[in-house]
Amino acid sequence: MTTRVMVLNGPNLGRLGSREPDVYGSTSYTGLVERCTRLGEELGLAVEVHETNSELQMVQWLHQAADERIPVVINPGAFTHYSYAMRDAAAQRTAPLIEVHISNPYAREAFRHTSVIAAIASGTIAGFGLGSYELALRALAEQLVRG
């Protein structure tokens, strides 16, 4: 049986490849989707990758994940630092939730050092470029096997 997993991306992540390539790399958002779905197949996960600039949409996806017991890998983008609505939705999780960041927020501006989601996440992976998503999917697959 293949486990469904949601990979949720917040604001501006759909602009990967053109947005600050010195920070976020040159791989496009499409490239990220392909990497996540391909690795998911290898790990026996049915990975669905979503991106939104809407806090409402992110909260709705998190509610769906909680209601359907779907594990989540989330890069909240700028929502990381201030979205209590997203944090409260993520806190309702009924399956593992792993926070990811492409860059290392602690090596950047001070306002990026706070994550409202970190305390309710199963774990956080940051600073490994798009590899952060791959590490998160591998960690998630391992968590699911261990139960």
pLDDT value of position 116: 94
pLDDT value of position 23: 60
Positive or negative torsion for Cα 112, 74, 134, 119: positive
pLDDT value of position 18: 61
The pLDDT tens digits of the residues spanning 24-60 come to: 566 678 999 999 999 999 999 999 999 999 999 999 9
Q: Pick out the residues of the known binding site for substrate.
A: 75, 81, 88, 102-103, 112
132 vs 56, 91, 122, CA distance in Å? 25, 22, 15
Measured distance CA(22)–CA(44) in Å, rounded: 33
42 vs 4, 106, 111, 146, CA distance in Å? 13, 32, 37, 18
pLDDT value of position 109: 72
- The catalytic residues are 24, 101
pLDDT value of position 145: 85
The Cβ of residue 118 has, within 10 Å, a number of other Cβ atoms equal to 14
Measured distance CA(125)–CA(114) in Å, rounded: 14
**Which letter does DSSP use for residue 119 in this model?**
G
pLDDT value of position 25: 61
Return the CATH number at 138: 3.40.50.9100
Q: Which residue has the tokens 């791989």?
A: 27
Measured distance CA(57)–CA(54) in Å, rounded: 5
* Low-confidence spans in the chain with pLDDT less than 50: none
pLDDT value of position 101: 94
Q: Provide the domain limits for residue 24.
A: 3-146
Query: Based on the structure, what is the number of domains in the chain?
Result: 1
